[in-house]
Amino acid sequence: MTAAQRQKAERLRAANGFAQIEYVESYIEDLPFDDARFDCVMSNGVLNLAQDKAAVFQEAARVLRPGGRLAISDIVTGVALPESVVCNADLWAACIGGAMQREAYQGAVEQAGLRIQVVQPNPEYRFLSDRADRAAQRFAVQSISLVAVKE
């Protein structure tokens, strides 16, 4: 989260009276929380920007209580991406370059000790640039929602 994003979030939190919400600056692969602290970990489309997604899922599982849920929306691919896409900064910024192949993504979730309950596509999702849209079509990139439970 950038400083501007955090300021906006703080403004919205205060404007809506959500005093129980606290924002903590950290790295998603190394959260500053005790084990089994939360009932839910949520993310809306930013995990594909993390280089080590397996570490992200391990960390989410660590901070979840047994029975806790991981609820995410993210971008995945139908095939492994070639280096020309993975190394393209514009396609990383468009949330394509960092996307993981769907089966590998789900495998990383399960290897973290989370049992997947729901995976569904988000067919309304659209990429903003023509270049990203072409890459999405070529590599079967799609937005999915996933819910998993910590065993």
Q: How confident is the model at residue 2 (pLDDT cuts 50, 70, 90)?
A: confident
Indicate the pTM of the whole model: 0.89
Q: What is the DSSP letter of 45?
A: S
pLDDT tens digits along 39-72: 999 998 889 889 999 999 999 999 999 999 999 9
Domain residue spans in the chain?
A: 1-30, 32-150
Residue 141 identity: V
Tokens read off for 142: 């799609």
Cα dihedral: 36, 29, 115, 100 (round 10): 170
pLDDT tens digits along 74-101: 999 999 999 999 998 988 888 899 999 9
Output the pLDDT for position 46. Answer: 84
3-state secondary structure of 105: helix
Residue 41 contacts residue 64 (beta carbons within 8 Å): yes
Output the pLDDT for position 109. Answer: 98
Q: Which fold has domain 32-150?
A: Rossmann fold (3.40.50)
Residue 40 contacts residue 61 (beta carbons within 8 Å): no
d(CA 104, CA 65): 24
Residue 64 contacts residue 70 (beta carbons within 8 Å): yes
